[in-house]
Chain A
Amino acid sequence: GAVVSQHPSWVICKSGTSVKIECRSLDFQATTMFWYRQFPKQSLMLMATSNEGSKATYEQGVEKDKFLINHASLTLSTLTVTSAHPEDSSFYICSAKGIKETQYFGPGTRLLVL
């Protein structure tokens, strides 16, 4: 089956720093990648959709200047949380989708901002 990786798995940082999370599709070309956020005991909330080579489309209420998304190639998308604050602490999950494929999820990245 299709494999999607995320790096890092866990990150703890100080308030005010920026954190970059990578999402890679390892064995297929992902025309679209999605970024989700999940707070404890809640469901996944879509943050943004990114297509290779174009700007990401953000969901309502998600600050595009705070959550920078770059989909530089068909196998890599990055999410940068700029000037992170404690309320940004969450579980960030990416998914990747090729042509005529369903979405495959990465293992997720837990972010804790102190």
Chain B
Amino acid sequence: EDKVVQSPLSLVVHEGDTVTLNCSYEVTNFRSLLWYKQEKKAPTFLFMLTSSGIEKKSGRLSSILDKKELFSILNITATQTGDSAVYLCAVEASNTDKLIFGTGTRLQVFP
């Protein structure tokens, strides 16, 4: 059975800290891995990763994929209170176009 596992489940940090969120997966017919940020509404897209070892970067956020070890990390540097959210990892299967979501990591950043 396909599955996506995220860790930690929850994280509380102070502003300015750097955090690393983990996502491991077991999915047949892997196409891509996606990261989303979810506040009170629907998820907003952060990154899509398809190739190993190529870092994607957007401001203070960056992500990388390891297709050999079947995991990805999402880094957030110099965290701000606005980074507080649930971060979701999802893997897209090529044969179905479906997204398989992990349970998410709830990040709380305190001033």
Contact = CB atoms under 8 A, between A and B. Distances in A.
Contacts of B42: 93, 105-108
Give the bracket for the number of chain B residues in contact with chain A.
20 to 34
B62 interface: no
A95 B104 CA distance: 18
A43 B102 contact: yes
Which secondary structure dominates chain B's binding surface? strand
A46 B92 CA distance: 12
Interface residues of chain A: helix, strand, loop or mixed (majority): strand
Interface of B: 32, 34, 36, 41-45, 48, 88, 90, 92, 96-104
24 contacts: A32-B97, A34-B98, A42-B103, A43-B88, A43-B104, A44-B90, A44-B99, A44-B101, A46-B98, A46-B100, A49-B96, A49-B97, A93-B43, A95-B99, A102-B34, A102-B45, A102-B48, A103-B97, A104-B45, A105-B42, A106-B42, A107-B41, A107-B42, A108-B42
